[in-house]
Copies of this chain bind each other. A is one copy, B any other.
Amino acid sequence: MTQTTKKHVSSTDVAKAAGVSQSAVSRAFTPKGKISAKTREHILQVANELGYSPNALARSLVKQHGDLVEVLTYRQSNPFYDAVLHQLAEHLQQHGKQALFLKVEDESNAQESLLLAKQYRVQAVIMMSITLTSTLIDQFSAIGIPVILFNRYQKSSSAKFVAVSCNNFKGGQDIAERLLAARHKRFAFIGGKPNTSTNQDRRDGFIDKLGKAGIDLSFSIEREYSYDWGCEAVRMIFASPSSTTVLPDAIFCANDTVALGVIDTLKLEFNKQVPDDVSVVGFDDIPTASFKAYELSTVQQPLDKMMAETMKILEERPFDNLSGPDIRFIEGDFIQRNSSKE
């Protein structure tokens, strides 16, 4: 072992070893660098022997941007978003980008996210499941950092962002249609977090289709996206004045997690059969939805397509010609399982 192993090899080291200038080394590592195929090959060869790879920090510094993408997520435990996160990381990698992961809890560290984006000159920021203030988006725009919203957006906003979302309205419609076709008469909606576009669109689509059939929701309530809330909501249905005479025979829950709580409570606390006494439908298609204890009918979010669209946006960078929100809806499929009648 004659070689003293330096911790890190620089382009200068390679240049010396290869008998070329440092800039030649840089060019060799630039895809469309003006350099002869021959010298490039030689340099790459030497670089490889020395274990050299370009320093991303220096590169990003001089180019004023790197391959980092900031991924913002909100405190919440929805298995669907865990899947999103994994997929996102995977796809970003495949596109030569890296995920800088940040959890946002409240206003104060929303500012932290801005800071981080600036400090690392990130390419873009992807916000998933964030209930955002449009000022945050504006702040990102102000420092020239593109914002992509995943599965959440604001309708009335002049903020410049691109959003990728499941077509939640259409999903709500589809569910109503299926339930109607199964001859259900009395419908309940158990929603999630009220001020989220996912909750609103799913509900509105549901109500819309029901309305066209001349039917009103007999029960509607929303609070948060959790199992416990699903349980609680069922108790509220049974506690409501009208419950002694007319119970809903179909319940649409704004997401699967809520639906799971609804089913368990219906079965175990109130001795109801699902779907014989009441049909229950969710939204997302999380892994647990297909467990034998539930067999939950649901709308599957088209994660692959949503991911592909997100990557497309990252590549095409349509941010500069934006005059307002650019929202892209992608339709999901209804999955018929055994928690709802057919």
Question: Which residues of chain A have a CB within 8 Å of any CB of chain B?
Answer: 5, 7-8, 53-58, 60-61, 64, 66, 68, 71, 73, 75, 77, 79, 82-83, 85-86, 89-90, 93, 98-103, 109, 112, 115-116, 118-121, 142-144, 227, 231, 260-261, 263-265, 267-269, 287-288, 291-294
Contact = CB atoms under 8 A, between A and B. Distances in A.
Given A66-B57, A264-B291, A112 B93 contact: yes
B100 A100 contact: yes
Contacts of A120: 56-57, 98
A267 B294 CA distance: 13
A33 to B, nearest CB: 18
A93 B103 contact: yes
Nearest to A121: B57
A264 B293 contact: yes
Contacts of A118: 8, 53
A274 to B, nearest CB: 11
Given A55-B119, A260-B291, A90 B103 contact: yes
A287 B227 contact: yes
Contacts of A115: 53
A116 B98 contact: yes
A69 B112 CA distance: 17
Contacts of A57: 57, 60-61, 66, 119-121
Chain B CB count within 10 A is highest, among A5, A85, A103, A142, for A103
A101 B103 contact: no
Nearest to A66: B57
A143 B293 contact: no
Contacts of A8: 64, 118, 121, 143
Contact of A89 (B54, B55, B101, B231): B101
A54 B119 contact: yes
Nearest to A82: B82
A220 to B, nearest CB: 24
